Homo-oligomer: A and B are copies of this chain.
Amino acid sequence: MRIPDHIGIIPDGNRRWAQGQGMTKDKGYALGINPGLLLFKQCEKYGIRELTYYGFTVDNMKRPLAQKQAFVNACIESVDILSKENVEILVMGNTNSPSFPKDLLPYTKRRIFGKGGTKVNFLMNYGWEWDLNLLKTSDKTKKDIVHNIRSNDISRIDLIIRWGGRRRLSGFLPVQSVYSDFYVLNDYWPDYKPEHLDTALDWYNTQDVTLGG
């Protein structure tokens, strides 16, 4: 079976999940923390080398305060929980903005925890324009793009899995996603089950890899 090296995770549907349970929208994010850990352990078992979670974006910061506090707290707690594993963590986002959580500053250069192993990237206060903007300072006589964006320590993504039914990237790493296979689950992220990843991997196994060729 062909296993992707790098999976991108768009954990969407937290607010719709909360509403479905009769809760206010902001209550959905805390229930998305444990799925992140379970999914990581499943990927580790399968030998997947790199995992990128779409935490929150600059765009998301336009939301109501209660929601912002809830998703920022859930993101901080997710990084904290993953840092107890054998993992190499990188938090990627605009640290020059007041929206960037100070608690995450120690993770903005890749750090090894435990015995190291799986690379885990979290996009936090990430913006695709912010990411690409670094190109403006790079050598224009050279063709290379991937090493000259802010997220240059995040590799090309083989498979993106999105929960919550939307079929769009929503600004997720536009450069690393140019050739990615894109799998969408209708289930909301707090309803994560191991079968979700298994189904996505079974589908990925049936796809060819052309890298645009």
Contact = CB atoms under 8 A, between A and B. Distances in A.
Contacts of A182: 167-169, 182
A189 interface: no
Given A178-B128, A212-B60, A207 B166 contact: yes
Contact of A180 (B135, B168, B183): B168
A136 interface: yes
A contact face: mostly helix, strand, loop, or mixed: loop
Interface in A62-86: 62-63
A134 to B, nearest CB: 9
A191 interface: no
A59 B132 contact: no
Contacts of A169: 177-180, 182
Interface stretch (A18-26, A113-121, A137-145): A137-145
A168 B213 CA distance: 13
Interface of A: 57, 59-60, 62-63, 128-130, 132-133, 135-140, 143-145, 148, 166-171, 174-175, 177-183, 207, 210-213
Given A59-B213, A133-B135, A170-B212, 11 more contacts: A59-B212, A60-B213, A129-B143, A135-B135, A136-B136, A136-B138, A136-B148, A168-B180, A174-B174, A174-B175, A174-B177
